[in-house]
Chain A
């Protein structure tokens, strides 16, 4: 063949992508059982989604949901934590626990031939944890140590402080780990009550993705989760009043070579009709390497290793945030440029058709790669379960994003991004950057201590 280097090859038609069918049933306990066949490799992903998370922490008991989840693999029946993990290891199984604001996800990934014993172990962990006091004391101590260590990690300090600034005492106003004060106040009885009240089959979906047949999964699930019954107590958390933080906040980190920045505000919930347009808008603004903010701060100015923005779509309105770590001397400049870019996309410098086409193509043309492994497919299904999305959500994603117009992007940016409401947090060398910050027109910085959060 002859190669033409005078122009780039233009890709032909995209091969269609199909999200595999989800088979669904429900056990008498209310536990939903979903299975998805994926047979390319003998691996199975077993996932238990419970629609309860850190937002369900009672006020003053922040960290309760997360420590409860952490306690679940610390023994079951008369078996110790070590014995549970030895059982998992004999199956080559990997256990992951994720806890977010809205939900908890336990995942066991293993070889297909171990499906039945792995599912029993997942049920032992989720439905029949021992929740012993001596384990609780140890686990809580480890979490307190973790909090101590996080004080030295500028990114973690920024994340913890930023949600607090944005949300205050709202259910989203803390990270799942909680605080030293709240963890210290917890007892094993709190954990037992939380598990009893919140970790119930009525709020749970078991998703099995891999080489499996639905009838078999259903039988195995019914046996494994045999005695797990009951409805969750109490309504899902609801929104409460938001605070009015200072526009500019600083947590001093003397001598730091970089400043860790967060800029954002409370934005929008997962069920917004503007979801697809906002996803496209974010691609242009800060959601990919070639986004405006990364090209500006990294590729033009070399101030950072990378900058990005995100809308965190949750059950209630989640945060929009820009995050970047910039060299200390460029702190004020980076804040100024970031504000500029956020303001510009709302109208002054609207997305061009080329920018939008690139963002949409990046989201849609390679979409199939998000569904390659059993775990990816299972995770996708848990999103459907968590946010009550229609089964054809993934099939419809591509055409819906392709229908987004430049006007849509400008409109949703103007509607959901508000420069006058942006809160900025800097974790950095305050003495060095203070004079520059003073020239930003964001008012007098509120100086905070990392220990406050």
Chain B
């Protein structure tokens, strides 16, 4: 898979990655700031995401909404924040590329003069509504908060979710916003990928013009918490407005691109993803005691966690599901996967990889992948090696990874049960504290 690109680093530290693809008359602009909720501190959670909202409210030379000029030029655009990074993207017709660069560079260099209390309060209210809609008023919506809090200790940067705590959001001050911007939002902490129907030479001149004079800001210290382990099994219980109980089982696991990451990715698929997976076959297809199962190796920049989730069919307990999960994890650790499972896993990894490269941008696509490799590995040219990680997986390597990381004695088991039905949860579970 050959993705031809060029990488340039401007004097102020901004990484610029250019990729030409003339198949469709569109251009993807994708800008990463290497800051996410992991850069927050206890008592100030939710900040990186709230800040992302303010980036759409205008900057010094265009102190109005960020959307109208770009949508008027035919762009689609958005942004997202996770634990490790914040990204902003525009998908524009080629004639609007300069407009997108003008707008992105203005908010990188000149956001604060346009920031007002009114904008701040308005977007904080929007974020509180986002939290209500996607977490508080959604079945099982508080589970991620309880899970992360149990997996990572209180001072670990993955202890909290990106949306943040309500009290922290209410306590946030506009001066915190200014400080956050100066610390993290500058050329030295950003990576700009532009992909699509472009002439690289012309675009590099444009980027130099719009971004070259912006300041580089202070060096951002990498977040390096102590390595964490779970000392024992931790059983938690959450009562929620749900009809069917669901159990979430999670283990700490390796970081993105680290040893065992790809093995555990495939192990998660073999265990519980799709109709070919072992737990689907056993719990949903044969025994019919679960309504759904799923699993994912959630690998992040500093650490990861592998999580299996299963929802009990009416009349069945989470203990029945957990027993099957324990047995299937153990069987994978002892016997390893079948040859057919490995072959399927490899082909699926290849196909999913190619599917991701069908588009130049938006959420995902080539521009976003180039930035991910550049920001996390300092090497945008990682496509083949990334795929190679999956091609090298063997029966022994999956078996060993599962054995190393998925011990029943070092995991979090979170039961989410209907209100007033604590008895449906795993025995000896302690009530989780979330709001």
Contact = CB atoms under 8 A, between A and B. Distances in A.
Interface of A: 1-3, 5-6, 8-9, 11-17, 40-43, 81-82, 85-86, 89-94, 109-111, 138, 141-142, 145-146, 148-149, 151-154, 256-258, 288-290, 298-305, 325-327, 357-358, 361-362, 364-369, 371-375
Contact of A365 (B96, B98, B241, B354): B96
Contacts of A361: 71-74
A375 B356 CA distance: 12
Nearest to B357: A41
B359 A372 contact: yes
Interface string B65-76: 101110111111
B421 interface: no
B95 A325 contact: no
A89 B243 contact: no
A42 B2 CA distance: 13
B330 interface: no
Contacts of A85: 274-276
A111 B351 contact: yes
Contact of A366 (B93, B350, B354): B93
Contact of B129 (A15, A149, A326): A326
Interface of B: 21, 23-26, 61-62, 65, 67-69, 71-76, 91-96, 98-99, 102-103, 106, 110, 121-126, 128-130, 132-134, 136-139, 197, 205-206, 208-210, 213, 241-244, 274-276, 281, 284-285, 288, 291, 311, 313-314, 340, 343-344, 347-348, 350-352, 354-355, 357-360
A94 B349 CA distance: 12
25 contacts: A3-B213, A5-B61, A8-B102, A11-B96, A14-B93, A15-B93, A40-B23, A89-B276, A90-B343, A91-B351, A92-B347, A111-B350, A142-B284, A152-B139, A152-B241, A256-B137, A258-B133, A258-B136, A289-B67, A298-B126, A299-B122, A302-B121, A302-B125, A358-B72, A369-B76
B76 to A, nearest CB: 6
Contacts of B71: 288-290, 358, 361-362
B355 A369 contact: no
Given A8-B69, A302-B121, A367-B74, 18 more contacts: A6-B61, A11-B73, A11-B96, A81-B285, A93-B351, A111-B350, A141-B313, A152-B241, A258-B136, A290-B71, A303-B125, A305-B126, A327-B132, A358-B68, A361-B72, A362-B74, A366-B26, A372-B26
A89 B344 contact: yes
B372 to A, nearest CB: 19
A290 B350 contact: no
A43 B354 contact: yes
A1 B205 contact: yes
Contacts of A13: 95
Contact of A11 (B93, B243, B343, B347): B93
Contacts of A41: 354, 357-358
Contacts of B124: 302
A149 B354 contact: no
B157 to A, nearest CB: 25
A13 B274 CA distance: 47
B320 to A, nearest CB: 15
Contacts of B65: 290, 299
Nearest to B73: A11
Which of B71, B110, B129, B285: most chain A CB closer than 10 A?
A: B129
A287 B340 CA distance: 47
A134 B139 CA distance: 31
Given A86-B276, A145-B291, A153-B138, A304 B26 contact: no
Contacts of B106: 5
B135 to A, nearest CB: 10
Contacts of B123: 302
A145 B355 contact: no
Given A5-B61, A374-B358, A82 B276 contact: yes
B73 A369 contact: no
Which of A151, A364, A368, A372: most chain B CB closer than 10 A?
A: A372
Given A302-B129, A371-B24, A90 B359 contact: no
Contacts of B122: 299-302
Nearest to A375: B358
A285 B137 CA distance: 27
Contacts of A288: 71
Given A41-B354, A85-B274, A92-B350, A149 B72 contact: no
Contacts of A2: 209
A43 B74 contact: no
Contacts of B244: 145, 148-149
A388 B103 CA distance: 42
Contacts of A154: 137
B132 A369 contact: no
A119 B172 CA distance: 56
A6 B74 CA distance: 22
Contacts of B132: 257-258, 325, 327
A149 B314 contact: no
Contacts of B62: 8
Contacts of B23: 40, 372
B62 to A, nearest CB: 7
Contacts of B25: 15-17, 368
A9 B101 CA distance: 10
A41 B359 CA distance: 10
A305 B138 CA distance: 14
Nearest to A90: B344
